[in-house]
Amino acid sequence: MAHITGREIALEALLLITRDGEYSHIALKEVLDKYQYLEKRERAFITRVVNGTLERIPELDYIIDWFSRVKVHKMKPVIREILRSAVYQIKYMDSVPTSAACNEAVKLAVRKGFGNLRGFVNGVLREIGRNMQEVEYPKEGIPYLSVRYSLPEWLVRQWLSEYDADTVRRMGEEFLKEKPLAIRCNTGRGTPEELEAQLHREGVAVTREPSVHGAFYIAGYDYLEALPSFRQGKFYVQDISSMKVAGRAEVQAGQYVIDVCAAPGGKALHLAELLNGTGHVEARDLTALKVSLIEENIERSGLANIEAVQQDATVTDESSFGRADVVLADLPCSGLGVLGKKPDLKYKMNVQMQERLVDLQREILATVRHYVKPGGKLIYSTCTIHRAENEGNAAWFASSYPEFALVSQEQMIPGRDAGDGFYIAVFQKENA
């Protein structure tokens, strides 16, 4: 059998995501784990092609439709992904000659059993390679923003109803930028300065994020698991905006905290760290798999004041009534604040799903409010920029349960604030 190429592996991942509905980060990890012998350069190429193609599907489809008599939505999934990824390489990867992108795409079509379409693939791509600059983009309004920033039209429409056009443009731009990985120092295993020095020794490029103590951006490494500092639990991968949640809780020594949807555990671990060896954090989640992810991170952290527990946040746990100083409800949401990291979410989400999520968030908030002590806090957070899930639900909660006062709320906007799009609301329960 012929040697499997990087482009073939990228195609495998793209089909897992677009045809089979797998999440992009899971599909990419799956294929890269399957072909572990690949060199760093090949892995980087595959990752770039997969993420880049996914990020820009609306624009790539617009370009293909400009030149092809068969429209993208009518193509066979394999041919569609071969063309999309080839057009991405032609337009966005300077290191790839147009001829190579065309030739490799034709070979791929033949290898995947579509030899009868080799002429079609070749013709469309050669035409695009020669005449890309002739494509006329929409000039204004929703079609312009949709194609220019590769956002589904329904989403552009929603954002324009909630934010001004300039903010929507800025978010669109931010989501398409390549960004380094954000990490947070585990202060139980050393100071931020010591971590920075170790990462430098490991050949990693490190930049500090001034808005959060112990936060860094890292780049230039191959495999995270290959870094001794990661294996030793010296840091966690966590977005900057997500790091702000634990700070908003303002935990005091000895407090009891329940994180009701904790996996993979970043915020719960942060809270346990801030308790400085005192108190207790109960990190809950729905499935055994999610609990095992939390346990893995607890083990790496070396923290003793935190445990992982399997518990459905929609099911009332009477044994927890009135026990927690802080309840953290970082709830399932539409994820529209993290499109820069998970570009496939913008194709999976729709208005009906958002409405169901608003209901689920309300159901969980109505359940977990019981666990807050008189005088205690409930923190509600999401990684979205959708107002109904954020300010809308905070207003609903405050009016439905007047014993909770809304102390503060903050919507973080990609391109304006550091990190992902994120929302945090802090409620204080009145003293009985």
Residues tagged active-site: 383
**HEC sequence for the chain:** CCCCCHHHHHHHHHHHHHCCCCCHHHHHHHHHHHCCCCCHHHHHHHHHHHHHHHHCHHHHHHHHHHHCCCCHHHCCHHHHHHHHHHHHHHHHCCCCCHHHHHHHHHHHHHHCCCHHHHHHHHHHHHHHHHHHHHCCCCCCHHHHHHHHCCCCHHHHHHHHHHCCHHHHHHHHHHHCCCCCEEEEECHHHCCHHHHHHHHHHCCCEEEECCCCCCEEEEECCCCHHHCHHHHCCCEEECCHHHHHHHHHHCCCCCCEEEECCCCCCHHHHHHHHHCCCCCEEEEEECCHHHHHHHHHHHHHHCCCCEEEEECCCCCCCHHHCCCEEEEEEECCCCCHHHCCCCCCHHHHCCHHHHHHHHHHHHHHHHHHHHHEEEEEEEEEEECCCCCCCCHHHHHHHHHHCCCEEEEEEEEECECCECCCCEEEEEEEECCC
| Gap between the Cα atoms of 64 and 69, Å rounded | 9
Tell me which amino acid residue 289 is.
Answer: L
Among residues 59, 68, 65, 49, the alpha carbon closest in space to that of 117 is found at: 68
